[in-house]
Chains A and B, each alone.
Chain A
Amino acid sequence: MSLGKIARRTFLIGSAAVAGGVAFGVWYARKPVDNPLDPEGEALALNPYVIVDRAGVSIVVPRAEMGQGVRTTLAALVAEELDVEMDAIRTLHGPASDSYYNGALAGLGLPFKDYAMSDLQHAIREQMGVMGKALGLQVTGGSTSTVDAFDKMRHAGAAARETLKAAAAERLGVPAEALSTGAGAVIAPDGARLPYPELAEAAARIDPPRAPALRPAAEWRILGTSQPRVDMVEKATGTARFGLDVRLPGMKFATVRMNPRLGAPMRSFDASAAEEMPGVERVIDLGTGIAVVASNTWLAFRAAEAVEIDWAEAPYPDTTEALFAEIARAFDTAPNSALRDDGDADTLPEGATEIAAEYRVPYLAHATMEPVNATALLDGDRLEVWGGFQSPTLVRDHCAEAAGVAPEAVRIHTTYLGGGFGRRGEVDFAVLAALVAREMPGTPVQVAWSREEDMGHDFYRPGALARFRGAVRDGRAVLLDGAIAAQSVTRESAQRLAGFAPPGADKGHVEGAYDQPYAIPNYRIRGHLAEMKLPIGFWRAVGASFNGFFHDSFIDELAHAAGADPLEFRLAHMREVHAPSAGVLDAVREMSGWTGETPDGTGRGVAFTYSFGTPTAQVVEVVDEDGAIRIARAWIACDVGTALDPRIVESQMVSGLLYGLSAAVMGEITFEGGGAQQGNFPDYDALRIHSAPAVEVRVLETAERLSGVGEPGTPPSMPALANAVFDLTGERVRELPLARRFDFVT
């Protein structure tokens, strides 16, 4: 095999001997190539997906488990082909490695309307996956993990199965075709079972097949059926290890206090009182803040509060209104994108009724249940870092630089994530741990953030504004012209994490608006980028988290202007464009018993967003409860092409809905003096068990391609609620959160 061949293929399954067994996985070319003349010997390494040894079968799932069930579903891809039972496998995250690149992620940046992608465009997207490989981006995000792993991990399982069969064939002296597999063993013609561990060492001496046939879906035993999650018993018994649960011999407990004016330096500090406090070992100057190292996290928290600090001013407009004024100014600049520009959006069609609306959504924090943290140990010129990471290869590279060691000398241990939602795709909390470890050579240090530090130092979902105008005639939309203004998540995060900002049209900025499957003859969506230094980042559903609200709210307004039922209006414009999208609207109509009529004291809203390849429709029902609004019920229908684990898909849909409804009701980060005004859950609350709706989910599988489920439940939830509140109250609210205007049951 040659390196050229490897570079041309998206992946190549190989095997390698390990102690007592064999590993199957993806070959990758090490960078730089040590000896181009001998690639097999030196430049190739295997990153395994399956390890079979005397202890049994282990499956490596190189994606962050942050609640979305990826550890279970990705392991099931291997188990299905390998013929092992889910309760007989061990799963692990494995190391940070470039070979675990996410090929599906790079394709997300392409400016195609996903629902209308041709096979050629899909081919281009797959080629883009090669770029993900070249960059070595091991990232969990963009609802891409399953899409990316679907072929790779099934191939790894199939290659392992065929190789183990070949080993059994050699031992028994029969052709491999005479053998079958089941429940972790090769089965001989006479029915005798040869368990995989007994064949593992022999299998290591056999070349795996290059292109083993994959089983058709009709033959699946595991995929397509809800599996008990591999992490469930641990999570029900307190034995699952999250980043904050890392315990190492001699470990110290530390915290940080960074400038609340984000990104600005510290002018001076006085730690004399803190240094005298019980349990405190050191106060470390980090330039933009301080770290306190102590014998106990709480003692570190308390001492950090006791440090007197003079902070420098914010490098951005330092109040909410000043920030939004800057965002509004972006409308006056040339658009960064017009990714949809159909017909003539400048002219009002003759005889049409025009409407216009402006919308505003706030900055939002991720507020993961587990405050961000990381643990690091600098031992000589080697660095180890433990924590919940969505981007372990980026963590490796940034921590190497912070600690002054080579990236090859960094070992990353990815734990379970106590929530991610995009926050743990950043590297800041790991870098701070590496900086503290650098000051404490030989001592492992856990750097935990207080909730206040976490909420005040987020990479926020950007605040955003939209100006939409449109027109209806004869019950149909004949014009929709939308402009969206916000900071660019794509550009700012790429600059921060990878050191360059991709030029050209920013698709992420307008996704959820420009790519919706409606037949409107004059239809334009333009994106305007606001440039400010307030840190922003990926928040569940990213651009669609605000564009879903803008676009669908306006579709609702057009429906009312046209005198049409809002659900029928959406369907009428969608049916010929994308059948799976119409299908999910049909489904929620049936599930909710939608009639377009609601009794007094009850309101219903429907919403639809196509995001991350998954058309998702929701109906939300609200009731007036003594003057307060209760979100009583919700119905969700989505089309994921193939539901690899229906219960996990359902759970993710409910999760996405509740995450979005929480934001729509009460989520808001505001700024004063350059710092966030919210610090903890009492002022950044979410729905709770008594205020969350009863939810019914239907998962459809008519779409041609497999699609993600972690994010698509979030975008339609916010307009569905606002549309329901409009139905209940007659008042159209165009600004979130809704609790600014209405009382909710909380």
Chain B
Amino acid sequence: MAFSLTVNGERREVDLPGDVPLLWVLRDALDLTGTKFGCGVAACGSCTVHVDGQAVRSCQVTLADVWGEVTTIEGLGTPEAMHAVQAAWVEHQVAQCGYCQSGQIMQAAALLAETPAPSDDDIDAAMQGNFCRCGTYPRIRAAIHAAAARLSEG
């Protein structure tokens, strides 16, 4: 069945069953591989994208249920024009293996959109669904504070 959705500002047509999770639509049908598969059960946050600006686990949103405009890591910023959160990630040299970082960054960007100057507790509350086996958490925390400062200078 054909569905139409807007991803990173572009209208895209997809011919897949409506129960396919958005994650696998993005990765396998639209070749947007920046969004990662980690668990498939909303336990790791690697697949986090924005739907109408809200951070969601794309492994739990079916194609038929996509209710708004989808933004993925590729749409947040590019190597040439990074979003403030991505720039802070580079400045603080956060990533190790890097596999979870797309989801971490999308979650952090959604947090800052809602809470421009988050406390450590705010960061804990917003980011605890995002798993990192390399243990980059201290640098994630520092990068979020740095991005908040950068955005407030704006």
B-binding residues in A (CB < 8 A): 66-69, 226, 228-229, 231-242, 244-245, 247, 253, 278-279, 295-299, 301, 367-371, 416-421, 448, 450-451, 647, 651, 654-655, 657-659, 680-682, 685-692, 694-695
Among all A-B residue pairs, the 10 with the closest Cβ atoms: A238-B34, A658-B135, A235-B98, A418-B99, A67-B96, A67-B97, A238-B73, A690-B124, A245-B33, A298-B24
Report if A651-B93 is in contact (Cβ < 8 Å); known contacts: A245-B33, A689-B127, A692-B137.
yes
Contacts of A681 in B (CB 8 A): 38-39, 41, 43-44, 131
On whether the beta carbons of A686 and B134 are closer than 8 Å, the reply is no
- Tell me if B29 is interfacial: C-beta within 8 Å of chain A: yes
CB distance from B110 to the nearest CB of A (A): 15
Q: Does B113 contact A (CB under 8 A)?
A: no
**Which residues of chain A are within 8 angstroms of B41 by Cβ–Cβ distance?**
451, 680-682
Known contacts A229-B93, A419-B99: A244-B37 contact under CB 8 Å = yes
With both chains docked as a complex, state the minimum distance between the C-beta of B81 and any C-beta of chain A, in angstroms: 10
**In the complex, what distance in Å separates the CA atom of A369 from the CA atom of B95?**
13
Most buried by A among B17, B21, B127, B135: B135
Q: Which of B88-117 contact A (CB under 8 A)?
A: 89-90, 93-102, 105
Main DSSP-derived SS at the B contact region: loop
Contact A694 B98 (CB under 8 A): no
Is B133 an interface residue, CB under 8 A from the partner? yes
Contact between chains at A688 and B38 (CB < 8 Å): no
CA A666 to CA B80, docked complex, whole Å: 41
Q: Is B61 an interface residue (CB 8 A)?
A: no
Partner of A299, one of B20, B86, B105, B140: B20
Does B9 sit within 8 A of A, measured CB to CB? Answer: no
CA–CA, A241 and B33, complex, Å: 8
Question: Helix, strand, loop or mixed for chain A's interface?
Answer: loop
Q: Check B97–A687 contact: CB distance below 8 A.
A: no
A238-B33, A655-B136, A688-B131 known, 19 other contacts, Cβ within 8 Å: A66-B97, A229-B95, A231-B95, A233-B82, A235-B101, A236-B105, A299-B17, A301-B40, A369-B100, A369-B133, A416-B98, A418-B36, A418-B99, A419-B133, A451-B38, A651-B139, A658-B137, A686-B133, A688-B128
Residues of the A chain whose Cβ atoms lie less than 8 Å from the Cβ of B131 = 369, 681, 686, 688
Contacts of B31 in A (CB 8 A): 247
- How far is B32's CA from A241's CA once the two chains are assembled, in angstroms? 11
Taking Cβ atoms with an 8 Å cutoff, the residues of B that contact A are 16-17, 20-21, 23-24, 27-29, 31, 33-41, 43-44, 46, 72-74, 77-79, 82, 86, 89-90, 93-102, 105, 123-125, 127-141
Q: Which of B20, B24, B37, B97 has the most CB of A within 10 A?
A: B97
In contact, A68 and B96 (Cβ under 8 angstroms): yes
Asked if residues B78 and A237 are in contact (CB atoms below 8 Å), the reply is: yes
Q: Find chain A residues with CB under 8 A from B141 CB.
A: 689
Can you pick out 19 interface pairs between chain A and chain B where the beta carbons lie within 8 Å of each other? A232-B95, A233-B79, A234-B79, A236-B82, A236-B94, A238-B35, A244-B33, A278-B17, A295-B28, A296-B28, A297-B37, A301-B40, A369-B97, A369-B133, A421-B133, A658-B135, A658-B137, A688-B137, A690-B127
List chain A residues, Cβ under 8 A from B105.
236
Residue of B nearest to A660 (CB): B135
Query: Can you name the residue of chain B whose Cβ is closest to the Cβ of A647?
Result: B93
